[in-house]
Structure 1
Amino acid sequence: MAFSRLPVPSRANAFQVQFNMTFQDEALPSETFRASGVPHRDGNDGNKSLAQIGDTVLQLYLQLEGRARRASRDHISEVTKKVAGNANLTQRGFALGIDAYIHNNPSQGSYISDKLMATTMEAILGAVFLDRGRDLAAVKPVIIALGLTWPE
């Protein structure tokens, strides 16, 4: 099925089905996949505020994981930069087909930039974190599903 041909609200629902998750806050899924510049009653920032939270959540998760593994501070920093970096987020997002769910800025057409993909991956984590009562442990299964875990 070509998700990009689905109506915009259906894309977020399709994501939830594919990744076996549901949101209590029904506004979060559409915000998660809304690119900056898409006209909306809440403003044109799209998923950027969720991405900011998601970036912090992912970095905290990786740093705590490194500490639990008794990794050195330098190694924790290196892994965090690699896993939470835009290049990895972009690669993972496209590999998982996340681009099919994004409601892009009309001026961009169907083109999904690397930056938008990285931002959307972070927004997914931010949305889950907020939806699950700001519980970092509740985000772990999503981090795993997105392939953003500490490398073995």
Structure 2
Amino acid sequence: MVTTHSSENDQAVMDILGYTFVDVSLLRRALEAWSPAYPDGHKSHALVGDAAIALAFHFDGYSKSSTRESSTNILNNRASNNALATLGRSNGLDKHVIINPAQWGIVSNKTMATTVEALIGAVFIDSGLDINAVRAVMVNLGIMDRPE
């Protein structure tokens, strides 16, 4: 957990994601959990990220001629809040989230999952809505398997 933005923190997160941001402000916003200093936090990015994650999984299912039920089950298992929080922590992203000091340095599971969604949303926006960039980051984080 960090309390302020820095270029070192930005680079560390880009290394984890395997994606270099053109507009680093998108990355920085995605790392900001709600606090009095950041009243909107990263929730708007997370909404976009949630939709981009669903699009990536459903498009993958479409490409493989999977049933809607199968695609939805995979999405629900691989992109649940618990799964995203676990993957965020295992990739070390929790060390880079900017949280409210009142949280005593603890990144909750909900905040971690929302941060992962926000980062995916930031990638989607920064890449010009390139779902392949999103899929690559999802593979790097372990949310999605490498294409066969």
TM-score (norm 1): 0.87
SS at match of 1:39: coil
Q: Which residue of 2 aligns with 1:98?
A: 93
Letter in 1 for 2:84: L
Quick check: 2:16–2:91 contact (8 Å CA) kept in 1?
no
Quick check: 1:47–1:123 contact (8 Å CA) kept in 2?
yes
Deviation (angstroms), 1:17: 3.4
Looking at both structures, which has the greater relative contact order when contacts are Cα pairs under 8 Å and sequence separation is at least 6? 2
Instruction: Please list every run of 5 or more consecutive structure 2 residues that lacks an aligned counterpart in the other structure.
Output: none
Instruction: Please list every run of 5 or more consecutive structure 1 residues that lacks an aligned counterpart in the other structure.
Output: none
Quick check: 2:78–2:84 contact (8 Å CA) kept in 1?
yes
Q: Which residue of 2 aligns with 1:146?
A: 141
Q: Which residue of 2 aligns with 1:30?
A: 28
2:113 to 115, 118, 128: 118
Structure-2 change in CA distance of 1:104 and 1:68 (3 Å): same
Structure-2 change in CA distance of 1:20 and 1:148 (3 Å): closer
Q: Which residue of 2 aligns with 1:136?
A: 131
Aligned equivalents of 2:87, 2:128: Cα separation in 1: 26
Deviation (angstroms), 1:33: 0.6
Aligned equivalents of 1:60, 1:18: Cα separation in 2: 22
What is the number of residues matched between the two proteins? 146
TM-score (norm 2): 0.89
Q: Which residue of 2 aligns with 1:8?
A: 5
Letter in 2 for 1:118: A
Quick check: 1:32–1:127 contact (8 Å CA) kept in 2?
yes
Aligned equivalents of 1:118, 1:45: Cα separation in 2: 16
The percentage of counterpart residues that share the same residue type is 32
Letter in 2 for 1:72: T
Deviation (angstroms), 1:35: 0.5
Structure-2 change in CA distance of 1:150 and 1:14 (3 Å): closer
Letter in 2 for 1:80: L
Letter in 2 for 1:8: H
Structure-2 change in CA distance of 1:25 and 1:119 (3 Å): same
